[in-house]
Structure 1
Amino acid sequence: MRTIKAVRAAMPLGLRIGAPVVVLVVLLAAWQFVASSGAVPTALLPGPGRVLARLVADLRTGALLHRTLATIWEAVLGCALATVVALPIGYLIAHLRSADAAFSPYLAASQAIPAVALAPLLVIWVGYGLTPIVLLCTLLVLFPLVLSTVLGLRTIDDEITEAAELDGASGPAMIVHIEAPMARAAILTGIRNGFTLSITGAVVGEFVMGGKGLGMIVSVESATADTTGLFATLIVLCALAVAIHAALTLVERLTDPYRASDGA
């Protein structure tokens, strides 16, 4: 039975690139049809041409790029902090039943609290600015990354770890040479998905906590009913998520220790 990874590897490059392009063209055509039909007022649903023109104009001023970089920086810091915290917690949960019993209920409960509800609380505790936004991003990324770390470690075959122990591997040597390489795919998947959540956290945080990124632009455009600007900013956010996902997927493939042997 072929894995999803094997199926994707066997998929022609043209199909992998062409299929998303076809979907995009269909969506743009449907958008243009609805916008030009008059069924929805232009003030509520501007056409793709108007949105593209606005996007180009905003990019030319340089302000949109500056805001985008600010949001990326907040997301990077939040995801990095979550990684530093999540990996040790995930390791403990995967290996110790007591740690699993201690941490798991609180990690699960944290997912029931929406980011919008956490933001005002962080403002009260920390104030406005970069720090509470980064903390919000960290909280959003923490649980998925812990979960992926635990999953990656628990799927390692016991026979492999037992054989490594017989060869004298233990402690740091076991982590570096056995557990980290074999759990790598699951952990990188968690980081990839977590980074997207971190972008969401940064934007939500900027609504409430006075950031300087894309969330602030969305807040202003929403307050002024600037739907054309909103669509342009949302396109940037979507493009950012796709770019981050593609970049981290590439990193995952390039760092795959079995890549060379698979390609042989």
Structure 2
Amino acid sequence: MTDLPTLGAALNLNTFETHRNLMLEKPRDLELQDFVDASVLKGDWASVVERARKVLDGHKGRVGIHGPFWGFTIDTMDPDVREIVKQRLAQGLNVCEALGATHMVVHSPFTTWDHNNLDNSDNGRDQLIELCHLTMSDAVKRAEDIGCELVIENIEDIDPHARIKLADSFGSHAVAVSIDTGHAHYAHGSNGAPPVDYFVKAASNRLRHIHLQDADGHADRHWSLGQGNILWHSVFAALGKLNSEPRLIIELRDHADVPASIKYLADLGLAQ
């Protein structure tokens, strides 16, 4: 990225309307959070999409959604649970197709327990990947068909390379890598993972999406940028070496802090 990158945000439709002028002043990428709950995906999601089309009129950035994740993992071993997970992913992609969304966030299956135990058996890593394929293969094909990327976001991940190997295993342009800066910083501060910029370097041009949030290395804070102790200069130096044009999505607990977060990085000369 040669010019200052443009920041986007993760919002729901109500908070997009609050920040409408900010989100329309530049082609800011948007991630809608209205579709994470099963109650929406099982219900009248079409009316939410219809509202989104009206609310987002005039928006020029890329649009995606945070996919469902509550209550399951994509490497579940229970075949009955797997069918539910496949259904949720399909429902999320129904939304993406109707909305014209170009990405859907999927949570990584790698846990802190995995980091110490996957190599405790001869095929632990291969089995995890196989289970993810059993869950996600239909979704990957569907994502290919509708022009949507499934971006796998680090959650508890300690090894930044394992998730990249998982994404690559699908052999599909529709599966890419996501980084959540606060999750990476938590894993660094509490569980011995490398720092956030190393996660970026490991992903390299497989990185197509990033959640920007600040944290203290102890917990998943989703603080406004500048309130924690992530080393943002190192993160954006690593991002600046990429040509994959990842969506830079500010994802905060308090959506009211999005303008302050954009201003913080702009004042540092890192983004706009």
Specify if TM > 0.5: no
| Bigger relative contact order (CA 8 A; separation at least 6) | 1
TM-score (norm 1): 0.24
Q: Higher strand proportion, which one?
A: 2
Which structure has the larger Rg? 1
TM-score (norm 2): 0.24
Q: Higher helix proportion, which one?
A: 1
